[in-house]
Structure 1
C-alpha cells in the first residue's frame, strides 16, 4: 500500500485545481483592469513610492527591481494566460515536475502584486489565495495520487479560515453572542448584493437561526474535517452550503468561492479510485520537507487563534505561506456612505448644481438595486466603505481620488459606473458628503421605487479644486 497518497481523492484534486485556477484568473484580471488608477505610476498609491520606502525583504516583489505601468500590465496578463492554461488542464499533460513549476508561476506572479498592493490589497482573501496557491504546487498531477500530507494541510487552512472567523465573532461584538448581528449585517456589509435587501427583511427569529447555525459551522464543524470518512466529507459539504448562502447574501470577492474550493478538496467523491504509479522519491522528499516547514510556520497563527487578542487577516511571513483569518469581529448598526459630487460652477454654492458620481458596486443612487460582482473584487468600492467608517482609512488616498476626478483621469473614471461630466469638460470643484443609508421597507419600495432611503449626515470633504491645471508627475 502506498502510504504517501490517497487514491480516493483524484476527483477532489481535479475539482480543487480547476476551481483555484478560475479564481487565479479572476484575481489577475482584476489587477490588470484596475491597477493604473490605484497603483500605477500616476495612481493614488504609486508602486514606485512604496518600493522606495519599503525594503525587498519586507515585501518580496519583482517590482522592487523594475516598475513601469506597461511591465505591471504584462505581468498581470501573463498571470491571466497561465490561469487559462491551468483551467484547460495543461498541468495534466506535463511531467510531474513540469506541473509543479506551472502551478508555481501564478503564485509567484500574484505574490509580487500583493506585496506592493498596499491598502488596495489588504484583504484576507489575498493571503488566502497565496497560501492555498502555494499548497497547490505540491498536490501533483495524474502521475501520482493526491498526497495525504497536502490534503491534510488544505484542511488545516480551511480549519483556520472557519474556526478563526468563529472565534473572532465570539470574542468581538456582543451581537454575535446574543444572536442579533444579522439584524444589521445584510444592510451594513461592505458591498450588498441584489438579494441582500431580501435577506435583511427576513423575520428576526430566522436571523437568530442564521447566527446560531453560523456558530455551529465555524466553531464545531471544523474539527470534524479531521474525522474519518464519511464524517469529514459531510463536514466539508456543510461548509460549502454555508458559503453558498453567503454568496447569495453579499459580495465578498472570492473569499466564499475559495472557501468552497477548499472544502471540496476534503470531500471523497464516489467512484472507483484510479491506480496511480507510486510517487517518486524526490517528490516525497520535497512534499514532506515543505509540509514540515509549513507546520513550523503554523505556530504563530495557531497561537493567534488561542489568544484573547486574536488578530484578523494577518500574515506572519512575507511570502504569505501560513496566515491567520477572520471576518466581522464587529458589525455596524448603521450604514453610512460617502457620496462624491462635482460641479462646473466657478463659485461652488452649498445648494448649487452638484452632480453625483456613480460607483459600480457600492450604494449610490437610492433607486439602483445592488449588483452581483463577486468573485470579482471592486477595490475602490471596498475602500470607500472603509472611508465611510472612519476618515483615517481614506487619508492616504482619498485626496488623490478627488484630484483625478478633477482631471477627468481616464483610468480613474474606468473604475466608476458613471461620471456626470463629459470627457472634455471636467468639474471645477468636487466634494464628498456622508449619508446614512437604510433599506426601504415594502411600502416605501412600492411607493417610491427606491431600494435605499438616505439621509444627509455631514460634510466629509469640503469643495476642492485643482491648484494647478496639470497633474504632478
Structure 2
C-alpha cells in the first residue's frame, strides 16, 4: 500500500483539517447568530415558506423532515461544537470510521443549512466549503497516512478555484487586461476592510503590478500544483501569499482563508519534520477513496467544460449536494460605489423639517467618518446583500421590503444585525432609503475632516413608508 499514502505530508494534513474545522465553526456561528432575522419562521425569507415550494431532491436538507427555529439553532450550534472538537484534535483521537463520521456529519449539517438559505446563502464560498468538506471526509486521521488520491483531489479543487478566477477576469472586464482594475476595486469591493482605504491610495504603478501578479498566480502557477516537490510547495506558497494580501485588503468572508487552507495541503514540510509512517490502511478505506476519486473526476466534466467556455459562468454548482463546482470572482469591477442609506423618523407625518435618523450597519459603509471594520472570515450576510441591492433593486426584490417592515416593527432579531439603532425606545413611524454615491476621501480630505468617505446624494431609493396597521388606525 505504499502507493496509497504520502507520509511526508502528515503535518500538512493536520494543518488542513484543523484549519477547515475552524472555518466550519465560523460558518456555523454565522448561521446560528443571524438566521432568525434572515430566514427564521418570522424572518425576511422564511424557511417554512421556501420548503413548501421546494422538493427535497432539488434541495436536500434535513429541514424537509421538520422545521422550527429551535431545530435550526440546534443544527447550527451542534455543527459549531463538532467543528470546535475537530479543531482541538478529536478527529485524531478516535478510530478512523468515527473520524470520517464526524466530518460527514459536519458536511451534512451545513448542506442542510445552505440548501434552505436562499438568497442569503447564494455565495460561491458556501459551495467551496461544502466541496472541501466532502473531500475532508476521506482524508483520514492518525490511523493512516494521508491518501495520495484525496490530496490530488484537493489540488484539483485548488486549481479550479484559482484558474477559474483567473479566467473569469481575463475574459471579463477590459480593465483586467490593461491592468487598471485595482484603480477601482479597493474602493468598490462589496465590503472594504480597515486597510482598504490605504490600499486604494497606493501608487497606480503598484496597482498595475498587483493586477499583473494576480494574473501570474491565477493563470500560470496553478499548473505547478501537479509538479513534483518542492515546486508544488513553491506554487502553494505563492498562492498563500496572494490570499493573505487579499485578506488585508478587504472582507471576503472565508473565501481567502479556505483557499489558504487548501494550499496548505500541498506544502511539503518533511525536510523540517520528517516522515511519520503509519500502518497500512484498511481495504474498505482504500476502496472508498478510489471510488470517491473516480466519482469526482467523472463529475468534473461540467466544471472543466465551463472553464473552457467563452461564456464561462462564475460560482456555479451542478448538483444539489455541491460536490464538484465551478468558481470565479470579480470578472467585472465597478468604477463607482453606490450605497443605500436607511433612515427613520418618529414624526407622525413627514414634512420638510423632519429629522431623519440613520441606521448603522456593522460592515457596509455608512457614516463617512467610520473606518471600515475587519469581520472576515465571519460573514455578515445582510451587509453583503445591501451591496448587491445598491447595484440594482432587482437583487433586493424579495427581501428589502420585509427588512424595512421589521425596522418599522422594531423586530429585535433584525436590529441585532445592525451596529446602531437610532430608535432604542420605540420603533420609528416611517422608514425611507436613499441612494448615495460614495468615494474614498483623499489624504488632504481625511486630515481636514476625519472622514474616510465622501458621499453625495443621488436619488430616493425607497420613499417613506409606514406599517399598514398603523396607517389604518
The two structures share one fold, judged by TM-score above 0.5: yes
5 Å-filtered alignment, 1:40-439, equals: 40-269=40-269, 270=271, 271-349=273-351, 352-422=354-424, 424-439=425-440
Q: 1:129 and 1:325 mapped to 2: Cα distance?
A: 12
Q: Could you list the per-position Cα deviations for residues 376-418 of structure 1 after superposition, in whole angstroms to 9, with x for gaps in the alignment?
A: 0000000000000000001100000000000110000000001
1:347 deviation in Å? 1.0
Q: Could you list the per-position Cα deviations for residues 30-53 of structure 1 after superposition, in whole angstroms to 9, with x for gaps in the alignment?
A: 000000000100100000011111
Q: 1:175 and 1:239 mapped to 2: Cα distance?
A: 22
Q: Could you list the per-position Cα deviations for residues 259-295 of structure 1 after superposition, in whole angstroms to 9, with x for gaps in the alignment?
A: 0000000010132101100111110000100111111
Number of the residue aligned with 2:456: 455
Q: 2:321 and 2:298 mapped to 1: Cα distance?
A: 14
Number of the residue aligned with 1:441: 442
Superposed CA RMSD in Å reads 0.9
Number of the residue aligned with 1:29: 29
Q: 1:469 and 1:134 mapped to 2: Cα distance?
A: 50
Q: 1:385 and 1:364 mapped to 2: Cα distance?
A: 12
Q: 1:350 and 1:187 mapped to 2: Cα distance?
A: 33
Q: 1:4 and 1:220 mapped to 2: Cα distance?
A: 28
Q: 1:349 and 1:372 mapped to 2: Cα distance?
A: 38
1:24 deviation in Å? 0.3
Q: 2:443 and 2:75 mapped to 1: Cα distance?
A: 48
1:350 deviation in Å? 5.0
Secondary structure of the residue aligned to 1:225 is helix
1:349 deviation in Å? 2.5
TM-score, normalised via structure 1 length = 0.98
Q: 2:109 and 2:470 mapped to 1: Cα distance?
A: 37
Give the stretch that moved more between structures: 205-214 or 350-359. Answer: 350-359
- 1:434–1:284 Cα change, 3 Å: same
Secondary structure of the residue aligned to 1:86 is helix
Q: 1:88 and 1:452 mapped to 2: Cα distance?
A: 42
Q: Could you list the per-position Cα deviations for residues 409-455 of structure 1 after superposition, in whole angstroms to 9, with x for gaps in the alignment?
A: 00000000011002x41100000000000010011001101000000
Q: 1:234 and 1:52 mapped to 2: Cα distance?
A: 50
Q: Could you list the per-position Cα deviations for residues 194-238 of structure 1 after superposition, in whole angstroms to 9, with x for gaps in the alignment?
A: 000000000100000000000000000000000111000000000
TM-score, normalised via structure 2 length = 0.98
- Any unmatched runs of 5+ in structure 1? none
User: How many aligned residue pairs are there?
Assistant: 469
1:54 deviation in Å? 1.1
Q: 1:400 and 1:349 mapped to 2: Cα distance?
A: 25
Structure 1 segments of 4+ aligned residues over 3 angstroms from their partners: none
Q: 2:194 and 2:297 mapped to 1: Cα distance?
A: 41
Q: 2:99 and 2:298 mapped to 1: Cα distance?
A: 26
Give the stretch that moved more between structures: 348-357 or 288-297. Answer: 348-357
1:19 deviation in Å? 0.2
Q: Could you list the per-position Cα deviations for residues 88-136 of structure 1 after superposition, in whole angstroms to 9, with x for gaps in the alignment?
A: 1111111111111111111000000000000000000000000000000
Q: 1:381 and 1:314 mapped to 2: Cα distance?
A: 22
Number of the residue aligned with 2:468: 467
Q: 2:330 and 2:276 mapped to 1: Cα distance?
A: 42
Secondary structure of the residue aligned to 1:59 is coil
- 1:332–1:170 Cα change, 3 Å: same
Give the stretch that moved more between structures: 278-287 or 239-248. Answer: 278-287
